Amino acid sequence: MSKVIDSLEKVLLPCAVKLGKQPHVNAIKNGFIKLMPLTLAGAMFVLINNVFLSFGAGSFFYSLGIRLDPATIETLNGLKGIGGNVYNGTLGIMSLMAPFFIGGALAEERKVDSLAAGLLAVAAFMTVTPYNVGDAYAVGANWLGGANIISGIIIGLIAAEMFAFVIRRNWVITLPDSVPESVSRSFSALIPGFIILSVFGVISWALALFGSNFHQIIMDSISTPLASMDAVVGWVYVIFTSLLWFFGVHGSLALAALENGIMMPWALENVAIYTQYGSVDAALAAGKTFHVWAKPMLDSYIFLGGTGATLGLIIAILIGSRRADHRQVAKLALPSGIFQINEPVLFGLPIIMNPVMFIPFMLIQPILAAITLTAYYLGIIPPITNIAPWTMPTGLGAFFNTNGSVAALLLALFNLGVATLFYLPFVLISNKANSVIAQEESEEEIANALKF
């Protein structure tokens, strides 16, 4: 193990230290850290809604054989409105909040007014956002949530760089010292704001002439090319969900065309075949085939704790990390990670734009997919013949998705062990990388990075 860690350190540590000082990478990292209160609150209410208040057909407790009367279920469903409202105010506005915090963090790196830069970044985001939902003058929720967060990142960085560019050239209105600071700051941001919003206004206007908008172009440039690769849809989904998440894009939402248009129908077809013939063996004897890449297969064996099998990372941190911040994040993320919700660790550690975690986060899903496919073709595990809720804990999801296969449950737990061992060396490297960076940072830089 020590030789592996030493070899990885030689390659990763210089890169991690260098990227750890890069202003844009730091801005994205610190921006997402400051977003952590939103992600934690939102993830907890998603967990409550999808697990603890769900007792209808297909839910976690329903799969365990727990049955409630319809009136009670209706009452619990009504309570989900509370969590739904919290979601709308937290994870549902991630793309809107990202420009503010990322733009402000980059402004801190550039030593300019972070509050003004963040506010202008949000204004720029809304400037390029279409205000139409059908015939109504309104902003679609699809532009504000996690699926569109790449736009928020790009706009936050661009707006902050433009703001710093203008400020450093002193293209500002300067008021006498007798004017209160709050008023003076407002006027100093007037000219930069006019320039920034004029540029984004022109972009929005020009794209509208062609029947498009900034957000749609960003989303289409990611989703559309991948959706056409149906021949290798499973591997594309496995590889690109983690790659997109690493750069701040909600991988599953960006690849919704693959999931909802291809992989979920395959799961439904498997269920229909199983229901018709009563068993896998009877269906195979009748010449029927089952789809391997049905969506619940990924939830059962690959997305263990969420994209990147991050439940394994959480366990690895609790086992081997000496960093107090990482251990605290792992403790907070563990309850939601058990139920396949991993935004707290993605944004809180963060994994996004974290050079040390790039390799394990990218490679673990293909590795687990290869293990799962090997087990499937060797006849160790049966095909997916049921659709359990995606929030089902690791092991139980595989058990119910295969209509009670103990081998499936054991394979899921085996994969979790593989993920934990795979992440462990990188957790140890992260300890050392943090120590090197901390030694080279001044106290002022540390204070600026941590303050809100």
Q: pLDDT tens digits for 105-124?
A: 999 989 899 999 999 999 99
Q: Give, in order, the Cα–Cα distances in Å from 354 to each of 110, 334, 349.
A: 21, 20, 9
Q: Helices (DSSP H) in 247-354: which residue ranges?
A: 251-254, 256-258, 264-277, 280-285, 295-301, 310-320, 324-338, 343-348
Residue 280 CA to residue 373 CA, distance in Å, equals: 17
Residue 433 CA to residue 12 CA, distance in Å, equals: 9
Max distance between CA atoms of the chain, in angstroms, equals 89
What tens digit of pLDDT does each residue of 335-360 get?
999 999 888 898 888 888 788 888 89
Residue 343 and residue 350 in contact, taking contact as beta carbons nearer than 8 Å: no
- Report residue 287 as tokens: 């010449």
Residue 291 CA to residue 267 CA, distance in Å, equals: 7
Residue 10 CA to residue 2 CA, distance in Å, equals: 12
Q: Work out the burial of residue 81: count CB atoms within 10 Å of its CB; fewer than 13 is exposed, 13-18 middle, 19 or more buried.
A: exposed
**Most confident residue range from 180-189, 251-260, 280-289:** 280-289
- Residue 267's pLDDT band (boundaries 50, 70, 90)? confident
- Residue 252's pLDDT band (boundaries 50, 70, 90)? confident
Is residue 206 predicted with pLDDT exceeding 60? yes
What tens digit of pLDDT does each residue of 48-60 get?
887 788 887 766 6
